[in-house]
Structure 1
């Protein structure tokens, strides 16, 4: 979004037009709507701006729910924005720690700042990009305890601030399609700046879940978060925001339910053992936090094979930290024999899960050319180091 487009969008006419639009459904609907709006005399630039926002609001509902209908976005800002349930937990940390004046450095469109302000914390949100800062100002306008500053995080005045939150930009600059940055030194603000702040302050840093674990500072609490099975972030917490005795945590959110595994350090894996009647696939947050061993002990389970994140047990145990499967039978691993076995069982729809084997599930599914009326799940992995195909069925959640 260009500055001129934002000016048109933020005009009374632009906001009224945006709020009057029907929900975005498809490109064909948009084409008809463009024609209608142009016939009504609306300028082309304004029409493009409001239709872009309408599309982004529809997309944003997955992260912000009904609040998205009263927010503004950039495509890049929405991409990195924190989901509302996760942002609420970020804010809850600051409130629980007794912090009252928080700086959100690199606030983006203001999602985390909104959650902080909603808990009556005094929030100073700082954003380097002028257009994004203006959008954050709009989104934070309902909160009289939040202000937005256009400037660099590194230049922010932290006098009187007792807590800092950072969500460093991990994509190239821009408002639309951007590229992911692979070098943490290229983040904005840089990881070095964020960690230096954490040495003497109460600081929270939101990062991608795949960040090199060797970069995690020794004194920080590292928490990986998954939402409805999707691994979404790693949070690093310093000072009063880090919980006593906890350095590794896996937070698993399913709908309104939250479950967490915590430990003072990485947990040791349990030993591998024979295939039991049940298979467990740990949640991605548990795997990244390296708490598979603790999970295994809670399930009375063993590793299916050394170095592979599948667990097996003789008992069915319900857990929010793993997806459980009942093992029906072992099938041939070789493709031709596997194809024959599945066809004999009338399988036409196949879910393929894999760990520890060099297989492209989509390509394999195409080559199998199954056409039966049944459906099934096959796990391709190693059992005691040997390549194995397991026919399984999901346990109730």
Structure 2
């Protein structure tokens, strides 16, 4: 239809007591009405002649316009499309194609999960395998501050244990002159220069003999030998491997020493009844030397960091959806800056909130520093951890897209949690990649 007001489209029929009646006309000279009723088509030349002979004041008998053609057009009314939702059964032929497409997609996902299962789960379960065969990988020290018979026997027994089998630590004899004090040795264990240390304390042999000779009932036999451990370094390694091996060795060694020493002492004093009576006043000294364990840093709380990976994965997927319309407008350099810079800012409140949860559960942030400093140290650690995990997810999103991010998340979690459960010294050699993992 042409715009209203064009001279060709607008035809007016005028007569006495009549109004103008606009009639729209098609380009082929046939007029139509939107209602679909019958419409008359007028001859334009004859209408012009009739207009010249008519005035508004005179009202002759109107002549009917010359009719050229009559046509009725019926415009079909739009009908609502029928809703076919929830009408078909599972094996209806109408949806057979859709059903096979669905089955194919499910089959592909199942195959991918099977491959992922065989690749990821053996890696995780292998990390949980008993690590007793890897005990010689743990460095430990033995230090003789005594210089007497007890120190000599304990040192010799510890070194001899490394010559048979593999149920022993990597014991190394350290000279007492290398340490300024017992506190200095303990500090070096805290700095993770050794997993454990056995010290034969100063004057252990002479103190034992004096207590027997004078009947010192205050003698503490556990002051002779000390085992230093740091349980917080790795609770599994210290609890399952280092402590059992070290205590078993000390138990065997000191029992052997006491059996020999007590027998020799009784042979020496049996001819002196007074000496026997005096030694009986100190039963602890008569029982012999023993040891005690000092846990320099106990493992007193479990704090799992792999939950942070879940939160960051959600942020990555949601950010990808929110960025769809924007990234098509940005240059490559601007897009890279956006995808790196914005997550680094977003990780600050996430890591701070994650660390603050520990305050409500009384996490011991004062293990090395005071509580305030320890808290912010943990915030910084959590931030670096989330950055390492999150930026890896951002890189994977560029390749896998959101549809397959769940597969990456499973593999990424398994690769990370397979390493911190046990230390690298307690696992097979290929788990040394743990030194480069965030967890």
Please confirm whether the aligned pair reaches a TM-score higher than 0.5, indicating the same fold. Answer: no
Larger radius of gyration: 2
Higher RCO (CA-CA < 8 Å; seq separation 6+): 2
Identify, as 1 or 2, the structure richer in strand.
1
